[in-house]
Structure 1
Amino acid sequence: MKGSSHLGIGIAVGAIAGYITHPDVMTVAICAGIGGVSGVAPDLDTNGLASNSITLSKKVSKVLMETAGIGILLTLIYQVMTQGMSNEIYIYGGMGLALLIVSRLITQRRMLTITGVLVLLLGFVLDQSLGILLAGSYIVFASFLPHRSYTHSLLGVLFYAAVLKYLDMEWPIEGMFAAGMAGYISHLVADMKVLPVNRRGVKWFAPLWKQEF
């Protein structure tokens, strides 16, 4: 099923969860958004709507890295010509060369890994927020997983539940947990093989049992 379909289903079930929690427009709208995000979260394990929405494109990142790398090296050359050599030249020179090398090797999946690392750093900055740290960990792990593996299993459901639980403890939003879980689980249900639109199913019990349902 396409990412846009998962997004729509997630928004719908999130709105329903919000209405059940507290039937007012604001709660329903917020929970619809949470449900939509959660509805595409399992697909962070592939280059789709979810991963591409939270990362810079590879082309943009490549241009930024190359520009920064060349800028650093040109600045160092100017400093050497005007001020002579210093120990700092080697450090910054290495940084410039590293940016140029990484710009040639970077892929869209690794951009997702970098995004997860940045979220982890944000978690440390915000007084070691466990909710954000778990969210960053989820993104990093998903960036290395094959499609429809652990993010599409009960293991992924439990991990995401922990993310929602701690986010809700730190920044309480009425209906967050219910809407997030409804959105996430809706994705797995919509990807099941019982639906004729799906050629592959969901390995609910991976890694213990890899039967597709």
Structure 2
Amino acid sequence: MNGFAHSAIGFGVGFAIAETSAASPFETVLLISAGSLSALVPDLDINGKLTNRMTLPHQFLKTITTVAGCLIIYLTLTHVLQIEMWQGIGLGVALIGTAQWISKRFMLSITGMLIIAAGLFISKIWLTLFGAYVLIASFLSHRTYTHSLLGLGTFACIAWLFSRDMNMNDLFFACSFGYASHLLADMRWVPGNKKGIKLFLPLSKKSF
């Protein structure tokens, strides 16, 4: 199932929670947004819609890094930079080499680190934990731990801390149920999902 469909289901989840809790217009918008975005979170383990929204274009960073490496080599060879030639050339080559490794997953890892730093800076545990979630997800294979009960439980804990910080209990349900809707929609009982998800990782690799 694609990201738009997952987001639409999460939208419906958030709207249903808002309706059942008689939420105000502002709270309704917040719950719908939380449900819609949370429904995309499991796909942080792949280059999906949420990954693209959370990171800078990796091609841009790759180009900038490559140009910087070439420029350092040129400035070293023309003696503009007052450093040893082998150091300048080495630094330039290192930057060019690093650029070849820059990808959307690399950008997602950097984003996770920045979120962790932001959470620590403003003393928000839920934000720090979410940053850790993003960082770990950037190293995982698709439809593994983020698509398991372990992933759901981890995200639910983050959602609980977030809802407490916002003093809005319904946010916990919007986030958790939005996330859970993604897992349900990716299960094998849905037409087109031959692969399914390994719901009980790491205890079992059986697909559902």
Normalized against structure 1, the TM-score is what? Answer: 0.84
Q: State the partner residue of 1:159.
A: 154
Identity percentage of aligned residues = 35
**Which structure 1 residue ranges, 5 or more long, are not aligned?**
none
Of residues 143, 146, 168, the one that matches 2:141 is: 146
Q: State the partner residue of 1:29.
A: 29
Q: State the distance in 1 between where 2:11 and 2:17 align.
A: 10
Q: State the distance in 2 between where 1:72 and 1:180 align.
A: 47
Measured after TM superposition, the shift of residue 197 of structure 1 is 2.5
Measured after TM superposition, the shift of residue 75 of structure 1 is 7.4
Letter in 2 for 1:151: T
Larger displacement relative to structure 2 (38-47 or 97-106): 97-106
Q: Secondary structure at the match of 1:198?
A: coil
Alpha carbons of structure 1 residues 65 and 21: separation in structure 2 relative to 1, 3 Å: farther
Q: Secondary structure at the match of 1:44?
A: helix
Measured after TM superposition, the shift of residue 117 of structure 1 is 1.0
Please tell me whether the aligned partners of residues 134 and 163 of structure 1 are also in contact (alpha carbons under 8 angstroms): yes
Q: State the distance in 2 between where 1:97 and 1:182 align.
A: 48
Length, aligned pairs only:
205
Alpha carbons of structure 1 residues 10 and 144: separation in structure 2 relative to 1, 3 Å: same
Superposed, 1:50-199 pairs within 5 Å as 50-69=50-69, 78=80, 80=82, 98-127=94-123, 129-173=124-168, 175-199=170-194
Letter in 2 for 1:18: A
Please tell me whether the aligned partners of residues 27 and 175 of structure 1 are also in contact (alpha carbons under 8 angstroms): no
Letter in 2 for 1:200: K
Q: State the partner residue of 2:197.
A: 202
CA RMSD of aligned residues (A): 2.4
Q: State the distance in 1 between where 2:21 and 2:71 align.
A: 53
Larger displacement relative to structure 2 (182-191 or 10-19): 10-19
Q: State the distance in 2 between where 1:164 and 1:170 align.
A: 10
Deviations 1:44-92 (A, max 9, x none): 1111212122112221111233345556677785352xxxx59xxx6x9
Q: State the distance in 1 between where 2:100 and 2:195 align.
A: 34
Alpha carbons of structure 1 residues 6 and 93: separation in structure 2 relative to 1, 3 Å: same
Letter in 1 for 2:8: G
Alpha carbons of structure 1 residues 189 and 67: separation in structure 2 relative to 1, 3 Å: same
Q: Secondary structure at the match of 1:105?
A: coil
Q: State the distance in 1 between where 2:151 and 2:137 align.
A: 10
